[in-house]
Chains A and B, each alone.
Chain A
Amino acid sequence: MPDKPKIAFYWCASCGGCEESIVDLAEDILEVAQAVDIVFWPVAMDFKRKDVEAMPDGSILATMVNGSIRTSEQEEMAYLLRRKSQILIAYGSCAHTGGVPSLANQFSREQILRYVYEDAPTVVNEQRVRPQPRHQHNGTAVSLPEFRGLVRSLDQVVEVDYYLPGCPPTPKLLKQAVLTLLSGNLPPKGTVLAPDTALCDQCPRKETKPTDLKINEFKRPHWTQIDPNTCFLAQGIICMGPATRSGCEAQCISGNMPCTGCFGPTSRVRDQGAKILSSLASSVNAREPEDIEKILDGIVDPVGTFYRYSLAKSLLRAKVTR
């Protein structure tokens, strides 16, 4: 039997939702499994790192890595899988733009470790023990990966060929991507495998978005009775739709929740947060600085709102004085 193309999946700093989305292929996963050999998938199959190391370089057709990169081990795996794969795909928001984990780039390594191992209210750690990369235990050397100072997207560590956006990507996009890979008819390197238009373009509430949007007050979704048929922005609720790539089939919108931006920006935008900031601010319905400020007070966490999934890939990458 001729060899089937080899596919691998790996996870770095992620929640597991991306893995879940692969399983969400449901019956289609059988079709995929028939067309390819899955040679490495730690969450579901018993292959080890040494098995990957033993493979010839470039022997895997495509590897999909989800999760952002925070530890030295994740870096090593990224390098290893890059070397073994012809095509490396950043799968999901974290690998694509840093994702929610990269909001930690607002804090220093010291702040994070101190909180997690000492200050968090649920922690009892009187000796203030912290995990060490190297340690001697009963004469045996044990080691842990290094915790890096920054969270990075996959392409900030190794070269990436394609991106599948989303938190998580939809099974439909994954299936399309696998079919594209198998067809051999590959798009240009660096392509994000989703439509290149803003979400507003596909939004079922598109017709209700005013051409001259005026925002008098920013309301928070959990404090607001949201009209299920009107544009969120027209209701004063921050929706990342104008600055976010489409392809998610407007699932959040259909659930009566605004877009939070997980598909990242379109190809024309470099910094998703700056772009939504620009769009929202220009719609604020006030002219005097103090009136504008009063309306802007309604945006309680600009970094967490505008860069929820993309701080690592933003122009500043992190809080510069961590």
Chain B
Amino acid sequence: MEDKPVATDKLSTSRDWEPLIVAFFCNWCTYTAADLAGVSRMGYDPNVRVIRVMCSGRVDPQFVLDAFAHGADGVLIGGCHPGDCHYVEGNYKALRRYLLLKRLLRELGIEEGRLRLEWIAASEGEKVSKTINEMVEQVRALGPLRLTRKFKEWDAELAALEAEAQSEEVAAHA
């Protein structure tokens, strides 16, 4: 059976596994800070894929679950410090969702360290690099999550029957 990993799973299926982290950074603080880290030539681990959102309050819990389901080993959310939200309340909403989502993830078998929320102001380029490096180490210690691969394994029990049904169909149309 062919077993082509999808593009998003490339890192987590390679022989030397490297953690893959999806980061949602808010436009006004954390993304700007990541920019600052860049122009200041601060290095950080290349394991992170940054997605810019307008506010940490825009991070729908579906985005986090979808990232895990597509092969992320960890998800990092970055927003403005409490009181600094460009939209006044967005980061508080993000905090509440994050705390409830952590409870849900725990029950669904995803370790605490795979989801992190951090307040990083536009001036804190260094904190971006430190947070990313820390998280990469933490997720490295936890090991791969590899949900794309797991889903395939779970569905292997369906494959035999499906193949049989398909061959019957081919025979019926021959």
User: Which of A's residues lie within 8 Å of B, judged by CB?
Assistant: 57, 72, 75-76, 79, 83, 106, 146, 148-150, 152, 157, 269-271, 273-275, 277-278, 280-282, 284, 286-287, 289, 292-293, 296, 299, 302-303, 306, 314-322
Complex interface residues of chain B between 37 and 78 (CB less than 8 A to chain A)? 57, 60-62, 64-66, 68-69
Give B137-173 as 1s and 0s: 1 = Cβ < 8 Å from A's Cβ atoms: 0000000010100110010011001100100110010
Q: Mark B85-118, 1 if CB is under 8 A from A, else 0.
A: 0000000110111011101100111100000000
* A-B residue pair count with CB separations less than 8 angstroms: 110
Listed from nearest, the 9 A-B pairs whose CB atoms lie closest are A321-B109, A315-B65, A274-B61, A281-B96, A281-B100, A282-B93, A79-B165, A320-B109, A281-B97
Given A79-B161, A106-B107, the answer on whether A315 and B100 have CB atoms closer than 8 Å is no
Contact A316–B108 (Cβ < 8 Å): yes
B148 CB to nearest chain A CB (Å): 12
Whether B82 is near chain A, meaning CB under 8 Å from some CB there, is yes
Q: Given that A149-B157, A281-B97, A287-B92 are contacting pairs, would A306 and B104 also be in contact in the complex, using a CB cutoff of 8 Å?
A: yes
Is the CB–CB distance between A292 and B161 below 8 Å? no
- With A79-B165, A149-B157, A320-B147 in contact, is A296–B65 under 8 Å at CB? no
Pairwise interchain contact B172-A57, C-beta atoms closer than 8 A: yes
A278 to B60, CA, bound (A): 7
Whether the pair A83, B104 counts as a contact (CB closer than 8 A) is: no
Q: Is B145's CB under 8 angstroms from A320's CB?
A: yes
Q: Is the CB of A75 within 8 A of B161?
A: yes
Closest residue of chain A to B146, judged by CB?
Answer: A320
Instruction: Provide the bound-state CA to CA distance between A296 and B103, in Å.
Output: 9
In the assembled complex, how far is the CB of residue B54 from the closest CB belonging to chain A, in whole angstroms? 16
Report the Cα distance A273→B101, complex, angstroms.
10
Contact of A274 among B60, B109, B150, B161 (CB under 8 A): B60
Residue pair B157, A76 in contact (C-beta under 8 Å):
no
Identify 6 residue pairs between A and B in the complex whose beta-carbon atoms are under 8 Å apart, listed by A's number: A273-B104, A275-B60, A303-B108, A314-B65, A318-B108, A319-B108
CB-CB < 8 A to B104: which residues of A?
273, 277, 302-303, 306
Q: Check A303–B107 contact: CB distance below 8 A.
A: yes
Partner of A316, one of B68, B92, B96, B99: B68
Chain B residues with Cβ below 8 Å from A306 are: 104
Complex Cα gap A277–B105 (Å): 12
* Nearest chain A residue, comparing its CB with the CB of B92: A287
Given A282-B93, A287-B92, A148-B157 contact (CB < 8 Å): yes
Bound Cα distance from A275 to B95, whole angstroms: 15
Chain B residues, Cβ within 8 Å of A315:
62, 65-66, 68-69
A296 touches B165 (CB 8 A): no
Chain A proximity of B146: nearest CB distance (Å): 9
- CB <8 Å contact, B172 and A316: no
Residue of B nearest to A315 (CB): B65
Q: Are B172 and A299 in contact (CB under 8 A)?
A: no
In the complex, the answer to whether A275 meets B96 with C-beta atoms within 8 Å is no
Query: When the two chains form their complex, are residues A83 and B165 in contact, meaning their CB atoms are under 8 A apart?
Result: yes
Which residues of A sit under 8 angstroms from B161, Cβ to Cβ? 72, 75-76, 79
Contacts of A320 in B (CB 8 A): 108-110, 145, 147, 150
Cα–Cα, bound, A126→B171 (Å): 49
Give the distance in Å from the alpha carbon of A110 to the alpha carbon of B64 in the complex: 29
Q: Which residues of B contact A106 (CB under 8 A)?
A: 107-108
A residues less than 8 Å from B157 (CB atoms): 146, 148-150
> For residue A322, which residues in chain B have a CB less than 8 angstroms away from its CB?
109
Q: Tell me the bound Cα distance from A315 to B95 in angstroms.
A: 21
Q: Which residues of B contact A83 (CB under 8 A)?
A: 165, 168-169
A157 proximity list for chain B (CB < 8 A):
158
Roughly how many angstroms separate A303 CA and B82 CA in the complex, as a whole number?
A: 29
A278 touches B68 (CB 8 A): no
Chain B residue nearest to A80 (CB atoms) is B165
Cα(A277)–Cα(B59), bound, Å: 12
Report Cα–Cα, A318/B109, bound state, in Å. Answer: 9
